[in-house]
Structure 1
Amino acid sequence: YYQVEKAKGGAAMLCNGIQVVDPRLSAVMPSTFVCNVNDSIIPWYRKISDAVHEYGAKYVVEFGHEGGVWSTRLYPDAFPPLAASPIPCDIEKEVPIEIDREGLEEIAKQFGSAAARAKAGRCDGIVIHAAHGELLMGFFSPLFNARTDEFSGPLENCLRPLFMVIDEIRKNIGRDLALGIRISGDEFMEGGVSVDDAKAISILLDKSGQVDWIDVSSGNDGNWLAKGIHYSSMYVPLGAMVPLASAIREVVNIPVMAVGRINDPVQAEKVLADGHADLVSMCRALIADPYLPNKAKAGQLEDIRQCVGATEACISRCFQGVAISCVQNPIIGQEKEWAELKPASVKKKVMVIGGGPAGLEAARVTTLRGHKVSLYEKSGELGGQILIASKVSSRQELASIARWLVLQVQKLGVDIHLNTEVTPELVARENPDAVVVATGSTPPHLSIPGATEQNLVDERSALLGKASVGQRVVVLDGTGHTSGCTTAEFLAEQGKQVYLLAKGFQVGEAIDLITKPMVYRSLLDKEVTLMPFTWIRSISGKKVITYNTYTFKESAIEDIDTVVHAVSAVINNQIYKSLKGKVKELYAIGDCFAPRRIENAIYDGSKVGREL
């Protein structure tokens, strides 16, 4: 269903993420990766292939071997990692087994057998994953190949394992299926694969006559920063890896695919028109909006829901072994149940109170189902807390979530009332059949000895400029998510000296693993002082008394002008409580129901819209 929605939406070629071909890994990796290790996968391939072919799309599958970026840490009975040399990667820190020729031949045959099953499953092509520091890339990375045998030294030697895999695959599929190779155009690690190395690799792949296209990614999954760059959260510029594809295209004759934060059809067309690539991959762009291609063809550019690089619900969940979703598209992962929006059997008059992401999505979906909807917002602008979060330069793309939702409810003719605070009396006058309360949350009141309205402010007031913040600032990261870290970023960008405190092992402890390295780089670049294991005890004049959350030893930060707190919000549900028992149907969604994240708010809105 996930792939079919994208085929319906106009995608030309669909590709599964990397699939495991080594049976020794399949026993412990099925929650994270699809495993192609026996013929049981063939019926599934056929089901997907036949379904996407019905809409004119091609279906290809990607095969790889984790190599040295795999760990047995969570799987004590698992087979140890294999690599070119016994050099541990920075993240897993587990010394891999140095694979020998016999082992390489065995793995090459595993790739070949997997390819034969893909062919039997009516797939259209195969991609060999030779990127991101995994097994095959490890042989041509100077950082991870310390061998002195036939698989070391000149580049041709280092590429032998890859060509062993290519030969086995071609032996099993002939020329019936297309074959692409994914490489890292730059490893983004000092001393690692450079773009010049990648060009040399690509020339040899092209000359082999065995490869139909090169997919140019980047990075190494064994290093946090390199991994963060190539999986590309909103901290990475749009199209950041296009120059790598462009460099490869200059030296090869086969097609080259550009990837990485290409999330807009205009941007994609420019990549092609300027000669940087022959193909563009738009994975997360099609997660945010599976119908992007058809909307682009129809000239409906403003109706495209653009990916904003919030990786917490998509790629980060892959690494946790759970089903992906999308921060702003709750249909992802639930296509079977939610892709078709059924008209309401009974049309109702619905009042939605609150114009943040939850209320906007509820109004949108409810209207699409045929209900008559009125949307009330206390302030003069729709968007809720998204408008606050997007004040930070690194998070500005979040604003497009609100823009899209606002545009859609406007186009649908939702009756919008701004600068209107809803009271029980107003609800009684309107007499709706159902009321959806999405009034969000408010910052809490912190009781800290020595605090005043001048020296202690909440992060929302700081970001909106409603509170005066001095030159030397302590920021309290009480949620572990992005609010504390991004508030610190925001203030540091203004030239302020910022100390960021957190009770746990890290600041931003709950930030997803793809975004976190980029947040840290930004904070450190702005010279924010990171202080984990540290929390506030009191304020004494311009002195902030802190304590270590493990030893309870106190210390002081001197000459502090302002303390900004980013701690868990408080439910704003007074109107919900006052309407209980007074309206026919009453719902609370978003932060009004429970303070969480944008994804939860939009999901709540979509869910209630489908239930009304």
Structure 2
Amino acid sequence: MEAAPAGLEAARTAAILGHDVHLHEASKRLGGQVTIAASAPHRADIGAITKWLESEMERLEINVTLNSLVDPDLVAEINPDRIILATGSTPRSDGFQLTTPIAPLKGFELNHVYSSWDVLGFGGRVTTEGPAVVFDDTGTFEAISVADSLLDRGMQVTLVSRYESLGASLPYPPATVEAAKERLMSQNFDFIGGHYIQAITQDEVMIGVPFTERKRRLQANTVALISYNHPNRELGDYLAGQTTETKPKIHTIGDASGTNGIQAAIHQAANLIRSL
């Protein structure tokens, strides 16, 4: 297992049901993408989810190993009956956006174009300079958090979304979206809904309205693209292709399985373990 919410919940439920659980995390700490989300301004509270799950690992005396990559040698050493893969997902780097899925976004490879992980300090080295454009293809807190982070650096930020409204996919809008909107709109911030990105140049972003000729240019020295992540399924495919005498059953959960969202990932993990 991997120690994001799905992996942690799978380990917790399995231990409660009496299974001998070995939890292996590739990085130096538990939490997965929740750690990244909690690092953003005004989002520290979301880290309480994984902090509680971490405390459950200690309470249930689960064998946790950090900085550990799962490979066939490790699988042979542990000799598990089942492998639960919660390997998560990573930001796409191919210029994909849902409005134009068959063609990569022009200019996505430029040096001033970043992912949310980059902006929040969990990716490559970045140099940010205003004005900034954040493109939101998901309607979640991710783009809002990136905008908050850039605003905290004193930049003028424009958030462009394919959705007509800010945080369109978020639940309980009065408690989530409206609070974020009030905070953002009190700063050097603008929101443009119902648009997609046509192209990125060294100092501009060309945006448009789908199925129309409408175009607009925005000045941008920093661009952040927030799209749906790529599921990390390589390990599962690799392990599934290995030939061993006692081949364990492999299950994939969380973002790696295409299940988006913390609540959905936790439910999926718990339900899977209970069904075994």
* Pairwise same-fold verdict (TM > 0.5): yes
Q: Which has the higher helix share?
A: 1
Q: Check whether the contact 1:374–1:415 (CA below 8 A) recurs between aligned residues.
A: yes
The CA distance in 2 between the partners of 1:461 and 1:541, in whole Å, is 18
Q: Check whether the contact 1:364–1:412 (CA below 8 A) recurs between aligned residues.
A: yes
Once the two structures are TM-superposed, the CA of residue 393 in structure 1 deviates from its matched residue by 2.4
Matches within 5 A, 1:475-490: 475-490=134-149
Once the two structures are TM-superposed, the CA of residue 549 in structure 1 deviates from its matched residue by 2.6
Deviations 1:375-419, CA, capped at 9 Å, x for gaps: 011100100010011112221101111111011112211111111
The CA distance in 2 between the partners of 1:373 and 1:554, in whole Å, is 55
Q: Which has the larger radius of gyration?
A: 1
Q: Check whether the contact 1:355–1:438 (CA below 8 A) recurs between aligned residues.
A: yes
Larger relative CO (CA 8 A, sep 6+): 1 or 2? 2
The aligned residue for residue 584 of structure 1 is 248
Matches within 5 A, 1:6-405: 352=1, 354-405=2-53
Q: Check whether the contact 1:435–1:585 (CA below 8 A) recurs between aligned residues.
A: yes
The aligned residue for residue 472 of structure 1 is 131
Q: Would the alpha carbon gap of residues 520 and 431 (structure 1) be closer, same or farther in structure 2, given more than 3 Å must change?
A: same
The aligned residue for residue 604 of structure 1 is 268
Deviations 1:239-265, CA, capped at 9 Å, x for gaps: xxxxxxxxxxxxxxxxxxxxxxxxxxx
Report the AA paired with residue 379 of structure 1. Answer: S
The aligned residue for residue 497 of structure 1 is 156
The aligned residue for residue 115 of structure 2 is 458
Q: Check whether the contact 1:547–1:553 (CA below 8 A) recurs between aligned residues.
A: yes
The CA distance in 2 between the partners of 1:448 and 1:576, in whole Å, is 29
Report the AA paired with residue 443 of structure 1. Answer: P
Q: Check whether the contact 1:571–1:595 (CA below 8 A) recurs between aligned residues.
A: no
The aligned residue for residue 180 of structure 2 is 519
Report the AA paired with residue 570 of structure 1. Answer: H
The aligned residue for residue 168 of structure 2 is 509
Identity of aligned residues (%): 29
Secondary structure of the structure 2 residue equivalent to 1:551: coil
Note the residue ranges of structure 1 that are not aligned, 5 or more in a row.
1-351
Report the AA paired with residue 5 of structure 2. Answer: P
Q: Check whether the contact 2:113–2:224 (CA below 8 A) recurs between aligned residues.
A: yes
Secondary structure of the structure 1 residue equivalent to 2:42: helix
TM-score, normalised on structure 1?
A: 0.41
The CA distance in 2 between the partners of 1:406 and 1:418, in whole Å, is 13
Report the AA paired with residue 592 of structure 1. Answer: A
Secondary structure of the structure 1 residue equivalent to 2:120: helix
Q: Would the alpha carbon gap of residues 405 and 477 (structure 1) be closer, same or farther in structure 2, given more than 3 Å must change?
A: same
Once the two structures are TM-superposed, the CA of residue 465 in structure 1 deviates from its matched residue by 5.4
Once the two structures are TM-superposed, the CA of residue 608 in structure 1 deviates from its matched residue by 2.1
Q: Check whether the contact 2:134–2:143 (CA below 8 A) recurs between aligned residues.
A: yes
The aligned residue for residue 227 of structure 2 is 567
The CA distance in 2 between the partners of 1:598 and 1:391, in whole Å, is 16
- CA RMSD in angstroms comes to 1.6
How many residue pairs get aligned? The number is: 259
The CA distance in 1 between the partners of 2:111 and 2:13, in whole Å, is 43
The CA distance in 2 between the partners of 1:577 and 1:452, in whole Å, is 28
Deviations 1:8-62, CA, capped at 9 Å, x for gaps: xxxxxxxxxxxxxxxxxxxxxxxxxxxxxxxxxxxxxxxxxxxxxxxxxxxxxxx
TM-score, normalised on structure 2?
A: 0.88
The aligned residue for residue 275 of structure 1 is none
1:543 to 200, 204, 207: 204
Deviations 1:419-465, CA, capped at 9 Å, x for gaps: 11111332123210110000001111213323335211111121125
The aligned residue for residue 98 of structure 2 is none
Secondary structure of the structure 2 residue equivalent to 1:383: coil
The aligned residue for residue 77 of structure 2 is 429
Q: Does 1:440 align with 2:88?
A: yes
Once the two structures are TM-superposed, the CA of residue 607 in structure 1 deviates from its matched residue by 1.4
Once the two structures are TM-superposed, the CA of residue 581 in structure 1 deviates from its matched residue by 6.7
